[in-house]
Amino acid sequence: MLNTNDNTLAAKWAAMGDWSPLAALKRTSETKWLIDGVIPSGSINWMVAAPSSFKSFLALDMAACIASGRTWHGHETDQAVVLYVAGEGDDDIHVRRAAAELATGDTGPLRLVQMRPRLDEPHGLASLLALLQCVTYTGGDAGLAFPEVNAHSDAVYYGKGYLTPDEQVAHDFVRLEAAPDDDEPPSAHRIYNAHLDLVQRLGYDMDNMEFKPEALRSRFNAWDEAMAQVDDMDGLQFPGGLDTRTAKHVFLVIDTYSQTSADDAKGTVSRYIKTLRDLQEKAAALGGVVTVLVVDHTTKSGDSYMGSLAKLGDSDTMIEVDRHGTDNAVTIKSLKMRSGANFEPIHLNLVPFTLEGFTDAQDRPLMSLVVSDGEQAHRIRKAAGAAGDTAAALVLTVLTGAGECNKADLRQRYSEHPTNKGKSEETVKRAFNRALLHLTESDIVLVSSDGFFTQASGIDL
């Protein structure tokens, strides 16, 4: 509570009106979250990870939780419609989504679209507008009915072709504004001529104040191409059970940046993020909220990512995914949080999952991975002192589950662990012996006089 004593800074702020930071401080204290403490509502978020770090699994896991409104690994979510634009993978992305939902027995409005819109170009915005209008349509006037999408539909219906937003503005300006007189300021002439130059290059007929039909028909417009990619979504039925407020809140996942952009140059990144900001502003004008997650790669070395300064500077949050060796364990770290403090690292595991009742082309049960809590595994790795020796962590994991056991029993349990499937017997044996020696010499595992191994006391697991 602010102290309003006349001698305090708070009192001075209160007397300053719009010059005061109090309004901004109040907004900050009322930050809304799509995933509590992790992804702010209405933000642009960047997730970076090295190849084979399960970033798509993690993004899908977030998407599935948000679509159904269920908790994401201890963090509350605000239910929203999810549009997942997948630029990589075939049906495997759908298998992963199905596994995530089967594992929890829940589902929600999550639309997977496999396409690669160029979001660093003007027509990329058209793809997103059309997709969002489709996935939020609930009948009547509900959903995000973008005027640009409706204008395109009308233009195509009447055979007039279509213009990008900048071209449409130029057309409307020239059509409605008379050429400035000689005595008008130079700025008026410059504005008018700039608009005129743009539309004349597109075949504009100044006598009739319209585009020549043959000019538009002969022009292959990238915007039209982008819109055509979502034509098959006409008539999409929005899942029932959600009110229009939920329908107008969209979580947009773009997987990946490299599939939807020309390169990692600073200018390209800036144009890319401007497209996303424009999308958010257009949605906000219709009473909607769009929260974006862009999935991106690091360099091959995994210690940086291309275009890092522009991406870090222009996004609202930056999330990094680290995989631990060859294990199916990852840690999610917060590198930047514009709206508050960075969240504590989140430790997760990816575990095998069978999609019961579904088979592949060879009639084998469909398999995938699902994301689960990894805090216990993280504590074991930390206790084992095994940042680079995953075998030691696995031995301690097996021992923790088995309790006291002799070396032969412990080695058998270790060998049968799914992690060692497909490895040669000799390789497994060597790794086990080396790891057990490390654990006993470090007094993490104790061995009794009769040859039984136990976890040392005082280890927080």
Please report the beta strands in 219-345, taking only residues with DSSP state E, as ranges in sequence order: 249-255, 289-297, 317-323, 329-337
Domain that holds residue 194: 163-204
**Statement to judge: residues 308 and 339 lie in one domain:** yes
Ranges 78-92, 133-147, 443-457, most confident? 78-92
**Tokens at 356, concatenated:** 């019961």
Among residues 133, 147, 139, 135, which one has the least CA distance to residue 80? 135
pLDDT of residue 389: 58
Put residue 17 in one of left, alpha, beta given phi > 0 → left and psi -120 to 50 → alpha: left
CATH number, domain with residue 124? 3.40.50.300
| Domain termination site, one of 204, 234, 269 | 204
DSSP label at residue 77? B
Say if CB 362 and CB 418 are below 8 A apart: no
If one counts the domains in the chain, the total is: 3
Phi, psi of 165 (to 5 degrees): -55, -40
Angle formed by the axes of helices 407-415 and 390-402, nearest 10°: 110
Tens digits of residue pLDDT in 218-231: 444 555 655 665 55
For residue 23, being part of any structural domain is answered with no
In angstroms, the CA 193 to CA 191 distance is 6
In a domain, 8, yes or no: no
Higher pLDDT, residue 166 or 139: 166
Q: Could you tell me if 311 and 263 are in contact, meaning their C-beta atoms sit under 8 angstroms apart?
A: no
Q: Is residue 344 part of a domain?
A: yes
SS3 label, residue 81: strand
Candidate from 277-281, 308-312, 317-321 with smallest mean pLDDT:
308-312
Are 414 and 307 within one domain?
no
| For residues 154-174, average pLDDT | 68
Q: Which range, 32-36, 84-88, 190-194, 394-398, has the best average confidence (pLDDT)?
A: 32-36
Q: Could you give the count of Cα atoms lying within 13 Å of 126 in the half-sphere of its Cβ? A: 26
Q: Which residues contact 354 (CB under 8 A, 6 or more apart)?
A: 365, 366, 367
Residues 269 and 348 in one domain: yes
Task: Please check whether residues 186 and 277 belong to one and the same domain.
Answer: no
- The encoded tokens of residue 166 equal 């900048």
pLDDT tens profile 48-60? 998 889 999 999 9
Q: Establish if 138 belongs to a structural domain.
A: yes
Question: Would you call the peptide bond into 256 cis, given omega within 30 degrees of 0 as the criterion?
Answer: yes
Looking at the structure, tell me whether residues 325 and 271 fall in a common domain.
yes
Of 346, 366, 386, at which residue does a domain stop?
366
Asked whether residue 306 falls in the same domain as residue 170, the answer is no
Write down the pTM of the prediction. 0.75
In-domain check, residue 5: no
d(CA 348, CA 453): 28
b/e per residue 212-223 (b: at least 16 CB within 10 A): eeeebeeeebeb
Same domain, 142 and 236: yes
Residue with tokens 């939780």: 65
Whether residue 178 sits in one domain with residue 114: no
- Among 330, 348, 366, the domain-final residue is 366
Does 199 share its domain with 235? no
Stronger pLDDT, 306 or 44, i.e. the higher one: 44
Residue 220 has a pLDDT of 45
- The verdict on residue 295 lying in a domain is yes
Q: Is residue 20 part of a domain?
A: no
Question: Parallel, antiparallel, or unpaired for β 346-359 and 365-373?
Answer: antiparallel
Report the percentage of the chain scoring pLDDT > 90. Answer: 31
- 243 and 342 share a domain? yes
Instruction: Report percent pLDDT > 70 for the chain.
Output: 82
In a domain, 219, yes or no: no
Integer CA distances (angstroms), 287 to 143, 209, 243, 335, 450, in order = 9, 34, 14, 31, 72
Verify that 338 and 437 share a domain, yes or no. no
Whether residue 151 sits in one domain with residue 173: no
How far apart (Å, rounded) are the C-alpha atoms in residues 247 and 303? 39
Q: How far apart are CA 166 and CA 187, in angstroms?
A: 19
Tokens 């654990």 — which residue?
Answer: 439
Residue 137 has a pLDDT of: 78
35-83 pLDDT tens trace: 999 999 999 999 999 888 999 999 999 999 999 999 999 999 999 999 9
Query: What pLDDT score does 388 carry?
Result: 47
Instruction: List Cβ<8 Å contacts ≥24 apart for 436-439.
Output: 436/395, 436/407, 436/410, 438/384, 438/385, 438/386, 438/389, 438/392, 439/384, 439/392, 439/395, 439/396
State the average pLDDT for the chain: 83
Q: Which residue has the tokens 């599939």?
A: 259
